[in-house]
Amino acid sequence: MTNNVADHHPGNSVAEGNHEGDFGCSVVELRNLMELRSAEAVARLNDSYGGVQNVCKRLKTSPVEGLSGNPTDLEKRRQVFGQNFIPPKKAKTFLQLVWEALQDVTLIILEIAAIISLGLSFYHPPGGDNELCGQSTGGVEDEGESQAGWIEGAAILFSVIIVVLVTAFNDWSKEKQFRGLQSRIEQEQKFTVIRKGQVIQIPVAEIVVGDIAQIKYGDLLPADGILIQGNDLKIDESSLTGESDQVKKSLDKDPMLLSGTHVMEGSGRMVVTAVGINSQTGIIFTLLGAGEGDEEKKVKKGKKTGAPENRNKAKTQDGVALEIQPLKSQEGVENEEKEKKKVKVPKKEKSVLQGKLTRLAVQIGKAGLIMSAITVIILVLYFVIDTFGVQGRPWLAECTPIYIQYFVKFFIIGVTVLVVAVPEGLPLAVTISLAYSVKKMMKDNNLVRHLDACETMGNATAICSDKTGTLTMNRMTVVQAYVGDTHYRQIPDPEAILPKILDLIVNGVAINSAYTSKILPPEKEGGLPRQVGNKTECALLGFVLDLKQDYQAVRNEVPEEKLYKVYTFNSVRKSMSTVLKNGNGGFRMYSKGASEIILRKCTRILDKNGDPRVFKVKDRDEMVKKVIEPMACHGLRTICLAFRDFPADAEPDWDSENEILSDLTCIAVVGIEDPVRPEVPDAILKCQRAGITVRMVTGDNINTARAIATKCGILLPGEDFLCLEGKEFNRLIRNEKGEVEQEQLDKIWPKLRVLARSSPTDKHTLVKGIIDSTVGDQRQVVAVTGDGTNDGPALKKADVGFAMGIAGTDVAKEASDIILTDDNFTSIVKAVMWGRNVYDSISKFLQFQLTVNVVAVIVAFTGACITQDSPLKAVQMLWVNLIMDTFASLALATEPPSESLLLRKPYGRNKPLISRTMMKNILGHAVYQLTIIFTLLFAGEKFFDIDSGRNAPLHSPPTEHYTIVFNTFVMMQLFNEINARKIHGERNVFESIYRNPIFCTVVLGTFAAQIIIVEFGGKPFSCSGLTLSQWFWCIFIGVGELLWGQLICTVPTSHLKFLKEAGHGITKEEIPEEELPEDVDEIDHAEMELRRGQILWFRGLNRIQTQMDVVYTFQTGASSLQGALRRQPSIVSQHHDVKNVSSPTHVALSSVNSTPTTSAVAAAAASPPAGNQSGECVP
């Protein structure tokens, strides 16, 4: 923005301060003008501006010639009135993405454990070796261990950093891809304007205020403007107002044209008055927060600029933002918090999987905590009893440091157990799996905007799809015709039709249609010809071309100027007529329209010789039965072509429409179809096999909808289903007050397959009803497709919203989770396949990971308790943990999907992540591994005939015995990784293993690395080299895993009722009533647990304060009133506190006024899961 310095050359004085000096009106005035509608607007236009011509004068533009197109002038207009482009949301910086990735509960637990472990590893207490203190339980750690102590913590932190960077990088590259796509779409849009008297097409972004734009049927208006001249202009403003009725625009009634609205009929010219963020769509986008940062900047800049009036202007310019903020009452603050939450927190409870994973991680973390606590307690008790009880030593002051050192060592062992218990590979596995899927889904025409939508799709149980363009091709074509008493089931041969009838058809179509409708050659070789303009007229023009005739020649002969009178098509007439003057002074009128309307006005029909014969009412009824109804039942729209000749003697009264449109002669009736995409029926069959119900929600009439639904296979013969119209649907589900009743809806939706003549609200109601419904054995997960701006709410409400990449509006894309770049239903099926694959990959990983964890924890625990020293050293644990985790997550998370995924039913929201079968596998393999390890640990030295590694003296070199234990452990994990590839109890674990090169690479790579560690790892890894026979034994025991896996498969899961499942989704019942806010879906349930903890904490504080007050009152003997008064602020402050920490994602934002330390404390308080969940202590 320029400052307040006006250049004195009149040509380019761009004074920011006072627009009036330059142009006759300012941005704000124009913006206020554009907010008015109909009569109000006309009045204001005439009073304040003296009509539209004067607005043009003030904007220094000519209504006929347009702008001069002089670059400096255009630049000046951009400076004053803004550019015609709505700034996209500011992209998140890489650091912001990193910060978001750090919010993961599992990662937070890991970070804390790692930091504690790091801190303790550097703690070397003083105090010499005092004989009296005793060397009760072997030495403190040997040197290698104490030196390597820090490796443990560092390695965990390192793994956390990797996870976070990978996550952030994925988000970042996804965002970038998406922006690339957006800008590509934006650059392709062009619009027709008049400059220097020439009609030219310019990119939408280059339109400036003062441009004269030509508008015609089918345009999406790119900017706000005022009508200068219009013919029969009707606009669909539903995208802004939600009103489905078309609005008539005319100079004297309602000349206001708004951006983002569609021209439904007619044509005209307008002068552009507002562009970009000042246009109506721009204002809405700004409210949605797209232009958020931008507006703020404006306010700041506005405030800095000089003149005081300017300041006001900046404020009003940001008026939008000011208007919507509630006053800063308590309620206002709360609202604001809510708003912030809505804006800042990404879609939270969106992802079913992440909810389950977070809960599982918390459960595992709790289990690990308990195990590690028990370990520490046992070690401490053992030490204390052994030292002071059994050996009867006194506690000496100078020995305290040494005892402390022991306790610290025990604590470290405890932390090791905890670290092993927490699956740090989990977040990584999820991230890798999702990122890999998203990349591959791009190839399948799915542009994923929200990562979690990808796996939610795998759980989908219902899809509500649009008809036009998604299930059908959105290319109208004539497929049947009734000409000359003959019903042709396909397009007739031109030879079969008499030349004079053919001539009538060609003229009737070519002349009596908007000249903007045309058929252009295909863009690509071998593609379909492009249809431009009205799709129905294009179908008729295509029919003419199929009859080997040329409509363009006719149009060239009769240009638009020669048309004597045109009755344009509209929703009331449902017909269009064009009158031509003949050479002999008579007139001929061609009509076309919906067959039921035109046929009523026909009194004659052409017979097979092309001569008119009388057409009576009973003939008409017969025709309806024989021709029209059969066509409609095939999903065709029927259009009738007719004509009428007027004699030359007297000119008829063209205004009495009913007189004119009567006594017609029917030429032909054609059936137009919007063909079903050839691949759709197959895709829908796949969905039904996969347990997904497909419902069609369309604005079309119910016969056509039913026919198309049958063609697609949504309606199957012999099935008990419902097809409803929107009106009927609303009547059934609403009570007298017009509110939606869930139990009424529950009776309808399970059987509903087609909802015809439906409004966007109906769609939203249906989606919301299905999602909130609790009938059936599992809650529904709903996917919705949409393309129009009005589909926004339904897309946002759905678990997964699909927007159309080609036909979709920007608003629809903004509200969606996945964009179908080819607008095709089959891509949705691909998305389901990928989603299920993600889910399975993570389950596979979990199955593998938890086996490792269970075994490692038990080994560490028992080892520590029996031998006071873990048989697997910290660094070895880490190798097992980190490498197995990270690599296994790579290997198992990148399995490509197979068609077989679509043969099972969806899991649904409440299905646990770890099924009984998986639990059986985990425990079964754990039993095998533990048996082997403990056998080796306590009897291995006899078997291999080597020195025992147990109770080795301090600082002794690593033993072969313990090396064999470690090596066997790793080998068993390697072969178990192959077992983990199947989670539904399949026998063939090697099936299509070659399709996943990453898996093979990882397994072989880990094997190679293990050889290097064992043979050359030496002191740091506590390994000593093994002989060949020892190696073979290790590998042999490992291969035993595969055989054992086959054995486990034979045990039927159904007999193992005692096995628990883990990682359930949340059921509604589990959330206490008072915690269900209006928008339950905004809050992650793990966060709810955190929140519950904080609220208890604050309640506790408040109780103590109250009690202190009571005591205080009694002591001072003052009136109890004072105490009550003193207590008041604390309650208020507690409210604020609760608010400040309510959601860890934006702690820093809400506690602006607190000092940095408190917000850090708050963040720390928010991060670990709150212990007291049941709240026993709170009455």
Dihedral, 330, 335, 336, 337 alpha carbons, nearest 10: 90
Nearest to 837 by CA among 1005, 690, 1053: 690
Residue 1054 is classified by DSSP as G
Token pair recorded at residue 1069? 């019942």
Q: If we measure between CA atoms, which residue out of 975, 834, 976 comes closest to residue 894?
A: 834
Beta carbons within 10 angstroms of residue 665's beta carbon: 18
Tokens representing 992 are: 């299509």
Residue at 224: amino acid letter: D
Pairing of strands 486-488, 722-725: unpaired
- In degrees, rounded to 5, the angle at the alpha carbon of residue 875 between the alpha carbons of residues 873 and 877 is 65
**β-pair partners for 921:** none
What are the distances in angstroms from CA 823 to CA 179, 446, 590, 785, 816?
Answer: 19, 9, 37, 10, 13
Print burial letters for 1129-1168: b (CB count within 10 Å at least 16), e (below 16).
Answer: eeeeebeebeebbbbbbbbeebbeebeeebbeebbebbbe
By CB atoms closer than 10 A (0-12, 13-18, 19+), residue 92 is: middle
* The amino acid at 308: P
What are the backbone dihedrals phi and psi of residue 578, each rounded to the nearest 5 degrees, phi first?
-130, 135
Contact 258, 213 (CB under 8 A): no
Element at 25 (helix H, strand E): none
**Which single residue is written with the structure tokens 């206002």?**
332
Cα distance between residue 736 and residue 746, in whole Å: 18
Q: Which of 910, 917, 1041 is nearest to 982 (CA)?
A: 917
449 vs 437: CA distance, rounded Å: 13
Q: Which residue has the tokens 């970042």?
A: 172
Cβ partners under 8 Å of residue 979, min gap 6: 848, 921, 925, 989, 1041, 1042, 1045
Q: Which 3 state secondary structure label does DSSP give 602?
A: strand
In 73-223 the beta strands, taken as DSSP E runs, fall at 190-195, 198-203, 212-216
Q: What whole-number distance in Å separates Cα of residue 648 and Cα of residue 581?
A: 9
Contact 362, 1093 (CB under 8 A): no
Tokens matching residue 904: 């099972």
Query: CB neighbours of 147 closer than 8 A, spacing ≥ 6?
Result: none
Cite the active site residues: 466
Chain centre to alpha carbon of residue 733? 29
**Cα–Cα nearest to 766, from 735, 794, 799:** 794
Q: Which residues pair with 531 in a beta bridge?
A: 519
Dist CA 885 CA 864 (whole Å): 23
End-to-end Cα separation, the chain, in angstroms: 61
* CA distances from residue 591 to 269, 510, 533, 549, 606 in whole angstroms, order as listed: 27, 12, 19, 20, 15
Which is nearest to 804 in space by CA: 783, 831, 822, 782? 822
